[in-house]
Amino acid sequence: MRNTNVRIDYSMPTTNPEVNSRLLTCSQDNIVFFARGNRVHYKHLTTSEEVGHLCKLQETRGDLRVLTCAGETHPELIALGTSKGYIQIWDVKAKKMTMGWSTKEMSAMAWNGPVLSVGSIKGTIRHFDTRIEQTAKMKEQAPKVTRHQGPITSMGWNSEGKYLASGDKTGTVYTWEMGQRIPLDVGDFVQRRKKMQHTAAISVITWCPWIPKVFTSADVKGTIRLWSCSPKEAATNALAPGVLELDSPITGLYFSPHCKEFLTVHASAEPFPPGSEWKRAKVPTEHTITVHAYPSLRHIKTQTVVEKAIGDSVLNSNGTKLVFQVPEENKLYVSDVWAKRKEIRRQASYIGQIR
């Protein structure tokens, strides 16, 4: 890992302190989008172009709460969500809004091809098919699932687009199969039922890119759990080893597309009361980017970027750069992380050329 000299100004809009805003996203073309108040700006990570402006949100629409770029199938699209439940789809190449509608107050979003899944502070999830041009019909036909008992804080589809994982403020995690309205029967056995539960609010849900049925859930206390969403597992869906206890809140978690590793991004640790029997962690993670091996969960490296809490973050499309917020400074930082694996050029054996 290596810190770069790239610094970008940004500012968060005023928003509900009970809901974490996710206002940092990166497209498949390595363009990072971020907020300056209620304006959306962008910066290309691989060129020297200046910061550009995409749009300004009307004050009557509420404050920006979520930005999320679509995936490989729709690299030109970005979704904007607000504190009043307004959702807009923008074409970043044409710099124009292509679709907009309102829904319940939302707290998380995730793309699955042309379908935009939206989680609310009431715990519901709705799947909007953006191929339906008339928004009234799209809203009518959007399937809704309800099981969470608190605001949805993080959600994501796996690489195959078959499974969705969602976590909420109560620490509960569910997995859903596409097209189904009942969550899968997966998790640890708790009172004869399978359940995926943390002791604190879920901050991150991340799927493993090499094993489509494996994902991680992380919380604001610093606990990471690894799961398999296969309902065929008779005993438990918790992997072994499948729990990693760190000493500071986790604000981001990313698997490398180049090697069997993942990294965690950390904010400020909670102060311990005087006289408590607390021993400093072997690997302090506060204000750091920390890399771990998979599946052993062995610590590999810790990088202290700035002695302040790190907020939201995003990994670029080829997994070589991490962009992250430092809220106290109103700055975005860029750090080099994993390098692309070099291809080995194979040559014919000298012995094989002898006749």
CATH class of 2-272+303-341: mainly beta
pLDDT (tens digit per residue) in 71-122: 888 999 999 999 999 999 999 999 999 999 999 889 999 999 999 999 999 9
pLDDT (tens digit per residue) in 295-315: 999 999 999 988 999 999 999
Phi and psi at residue 82, to the nearest 5°:
-120, 170
What local confidence, expressed as pLDDT, does residue 278 receive? 47
What local confidence, expressed as pLDDT, does residue 273 receive? 56
Q: Is the pLDDT confidence value at 281 over 80?
A: no
Q: What is the pTM of this model?
A: 0.91
Q: Is the pLDDT confidence value at 355 over 50?
A: no
What local confidence, expressed as pLDDT, does residue 231 receive? 77
Q: Is the pLDDT confidence value at 25 over 90?
A: yes
Tell me the percentage of the chain whose pLDDT exceeds 90. 75
pLDDT band at 344 (very low <50, low <70, confident <90, very high): low
For the chain, the average pLDDT equals 90
pLDDT band at 233 (very low <50, low <70, confident <90, very high): confident
- Give the residue extent of every domain in the chain: 2-272+303-341
Q: Is the pLDDT confidence value at 70 over 90?
A: yes
What local confidence, expressed as pLDDT, does residue 349 receive? 52
Q: Is the pLDDT confidence value at 57 over 50?
A: yes
Q: Is the pLDDT confidence value at 134 over 90?
A: yes
pLDDT band at 330 (very low <50, low <70, confident <90, very high): very high
pLDDT (tens digit per residue) in 199-220: 999 999 999 999 999 999 999 9
pLDDT (tens digit per residue) in 143-166: 999 999 999 999 999 999 999 999
What local confidence, expressed as pLDDT, does residue 300 receive? 96
Q: Is the pLDDT confidence value at 181 over 80?
A: yes
